[in-house]
Structures are given as C-alpha cells and as structure tokens.
Amino acid sequence: MYPTGPLLAPHESVEDCTVGGFHVPRGTMLFVNIWAIQHNPKLWAQPDQFKPERFHNLQEERYGFVWLPFGAGRRGCPGEGLATRIVGLTLGSLIQCFEWERIGEEMVDMREGTGLTMPRAQPLLAKCRPRPKMLALLSQL
C-alpha cells in the first residue's frame, strides 16, 4: 500500500470528542496518518508486500476507513470517481499499446524514499516499445 503522502489533509475538531480513547478538545488540528493505517499488519496481511490481488474484488464497504486512497468525508478528493475510472483505462492502454521490459535483472525496489510525496527509494526504470499493430495508431497522435 503506497499512499502518495503519509498524511491526509488536516481536520479540525468542531467540538470536544473522544478518538481512540483520547480526549480531543474543540479546535484541535488532527492529521490522519494514512501510511500507518495502510502498513498496519492488524488490518492488512503482509502490508509491505506488493499484492494487487488483495483489491481484485474491492468493495468500499468492506474496507471502511482502512483503505483511503482519496481521503474521506468533506475533505475527500473530488476527483475520486474520475481517477478510479481513468487509472484503469490508462494502464490498460499502456499495456495494450506497448511492450514493456525491465532494465536489468534485479527485482523492482519497492522501498520508500523520503519526501513530501513519498517517492520510491529507487525510481522504476523500464523500456517500452510500441507494439507493431499500434504503430499506425500511435503515429496519428
């Protein structure tokens, strides 16, 4: 689980409340540590392993507030619906139009680097070639 950043947008409590057994006074600024939630082994089996199949039959209700790639509530990303549709189309188009291969024999390094947007420790390097059947189509773009 690789959130783009470690924290969601800040929230301010509008009244005194209790969160996880802690008293939170009115006006307190709260940050949700999405990285910690998505790397918690009590919530996710092998959270540090790349396992896309865990989302094969993703149902929002099943995950609740454990899976928050776009935040939640009033401060949730307004582009969530568009993004979830476009990512699949874009990835499918890249796979359909190009042949991909790794540069080198080593496995992809999934460690996280440092920075505001949590980049990979080592960038993914890959070589792509247009598929022969796609050359005519791609040349028109």
Q: What is the DSSP string of 93-141?
A: HHHHHEEEEESSSSPP---B--STT--BSS---EEEEE-GGGHHHHHT-
Q: Are 75 and 11 in contact (CB under 8 A)?
A: yes
Query: Phi, psi (5° rounding) for residue 18?
Result: -120, 130
User: Of 31, 27, 40, 36, which Cα lies nearest the Cα of 10?
Assistant: 31
At 81, give phi and psi (nearest 5°): -60, -45
State yes or no: 97 annotated in a binding site: no
Annotated binding site: 77
Annotated binding site for heme: 77
